[in-house]
Amino acid sequence: MEGGQPELGRNLTYGLLDSLGRAIVTGRFEREPFPTEAELAKQHGVSRSVTREAVKMLTAKGLLSARPRQGTIVQPTSSWNLFDTDVLRWLLERQFSVELLKQFNQLRVAIEPEAAALAAQFAGEEDLQRINRGLERMKAADKGLDDTLEADIAFHVAILRASRNPFYAQFRDVVGTALRTSIRFTNRVKGRTASVADHAAVRNAIAARDADAARTAMRALISDVLDLIEKKGKGMSAGL
């Protein structure tokens, strides 16, 4: 029983963190003050230590700040840590936004082509096998034998890791989180899953140790997604 208590506390803390994070991101506290720890404990039926820990975590994510004589206040969006996967997930789930998807893919096109070029130069045998497995999963997903979303993410994350650059590799959780929304959107618009051939072109260039070709192939892949988002965004603006 005693061994289960810390786990229960963590679950309560993360549950409250998720609930409050969503509430902040959806603008619930734009017109009302953020509750005190005592109020939060009463509202959510948890201990003060749980609310204190959740508030501390939200503060670390840039969503809250505690100031003397002002209490805990919600920070402006510009202060939020957009590279925090919880914050990014809450933003993406808040309300579907073509503009946010476009901005995310603009970031991807600045990062992933260079990661692919680095992978062509520095990937080890295990890295190449991981990329191959991602591609094979995509092929299997085309036949209904794997999850299309998870397979696509596995491929892109494998390339980030294969760059052998820890800064690029750190983007894997951000890319994985945001791709879940981006891929669902593009697949729904296109009426089909991602092109295995386009992904294979990236893999082939990396395997051939051709950095320029890997960079070009990855940029083309993401640019196609950006073009699709741009067109769909204009269609939505026009009321189509």
Taking the C-alpha atoms of residue 53 and residue 50, their distance in angstroms, rounded to an integer, is: 5
130 Cβ neighbours under 8 A, 6+ residues apart: 158, 161, 162
Question: Which of left, alpha, beta for 106 (phi over 0: left; psi -120 to 50: alpha)?
Answer: alpha
Domain 96-237 has CATH 1.20.120.530: yes
Q: Are 100 and 87 in contact (CB under 8 A)?
A: no
Question: How is residue 12 written in tokens?
Answer: 């309560």
Amino acid type, 206: I
- Which of these CATH numbers, 1.10.3720.10, 3.40.50.1820, 1.10.10.10, 1.10.1040.10, describes 4-79? 1.10.10.10
Taking the C-alpha atoms of residue 213 and residue 201, their distance in angstroms, rounded to an integer, is: 9
Question: Which of left, alpha, beta for 75 (phi over 0: left; psi -120 to 50: alpha)?
Answer: beta
Task: Pick the closest to residue 18 from 86, 94, 96 (CA basis).
Answer: 86
Task: Please report, for the chain, the start and end positions of each structural domain, with discontinuous segments joined by +.
Answer: 4-79, 96-237
Q: What is the DSSP letter of 66?
A: E
Q: Are 116 and 157 in contact (CB under 8 A)?
A: no
Burial pattern 153-162, b for ≥16 Cβ within 10 A else e, equals bbbbbbbbbb
Task: Give φ, ψ of 211 to 5 degrees.
Answer: -60, -40
The helix/strand/coil state of 209 is coil
pLDDT in single tens digits along all 240 residues of the chain = 344 445 556 788 999 999 999 999 989 998 899 999 999 999 999 999 999 999 999 999 999 998 877 789 999 999 999 999 999 989 888 766 788 888 888 999 999 999 999 999 999 999 999 999 999 999 999 899 999 899 999 999 999 999 999 999 999 999 888 888 888 787 777 666 678 999 999 999 999 999 999 999 999 999 988 888 887 766 554 433
Q: Are 21 and 46 in contact (CB under 8 A)?
A: no
